[in-house]
Amino acid sequence: MKTDLLLKFFVYISLILTISSCDSLGDGPGDDEPYYPDKTQTLGKFGGVVLGSSGFYIITLKPLNSEALFHFDGEDYTLTTTTEIKPEQAVEAMVLSDGTRSITISVDEMRTNAQITILVPGHDVIYTLDNMLAENAVSLYLGSSTSSFEDSFINYDYNLSLNHEVGDFTIIQKTTGSSNPSEIGMTETINGSFSIQGGKINFSGDFGNLTLNYSATEIEFTEVGDSNYFFQIDLNKVY
């Protein structure tokens, strides 16, 4: 009898210790539920500017409820997913969508290298892509450019991404008007390096060097010359 009581006592104590151990894990997982120390922590952040119409996007990866802010053609959209991510897990072709627009993203487990595809019905979209996890690592600008000489002119939608961590820039431009109608709708991507000093920003690339006026909210350049020469860039910071 005494042996039975001792056996029951040890079983009871064992159950209490097991339950206490499980409780100490907080929201610990079941057998089929992944465990996230912090379900709201940011596991990765990527973004860039878009043309196709003009816009930008910011993707925030979390263990649960990853989402993308997508600003396109003057409207804001929130793209979401039900896909769950483990902190050490690579992301393979995860789709964020609002039912109409979508961004598909793949990222390595270190959250350093990403690939994306942006789909917007009725639009051929081009975009830049930068790692934005570090605070203030990237600045995004939307704007326009226009130039003329004698009887020729060309106008662009002209969007810019500045990566302050590495000192690189990417410009994407789309021809919106031209004295040569065959150029309308054409796109181009321009890459290079930049430096900021005082109220000026200098861009360097295959095109040479170009120095523009720089402020916390705007980048601007205007040049006027003979023979109807005019060149202007106007960029407004959106992120």
Compute the mean pLDDT over every residue in the chain, rounded to the nearest whole number. Answer: 88
- The CA distance from 49 to 56, in Å, is 4
pTM (2 decimals)?
A: 0.83
Architecture of the domain whose range is 138-237: Beta Barrel (2.40)
Alpha-carbon gap, residue 93 to 116, rounded angstroms? 8
Q: Which residues contact 147 (CB under 8 A, 6 or more apart)?
A: 153, 154, 230, 231, 232
Cα 59 to Cα 80: distance, rounded to the nearest angstrom: 10
Look up tokens 């991510």; give the residue.
85
- CB count, 10 Å around CB of 164? 15
pLDDT confidence band for 40 (50 / 70 / 90): confident
Domain ranges of the chain: 44-131, 138-237
User: Who contacts 114 (Cβ-Cβ below 8 Å, separation ≥6)?
Assistant: 44, 46, 105, 106, 107, 108, 129, 131
Lowest-confidence pick of 10-14, 59-63, 72-76: 10-14
Q: Name the pLDDT band for 37 (thresholds 50, 70, 90).
A: low
Residue pointed to by tokens 């409207």: 75
Mean pLDDT of 64-79: 97
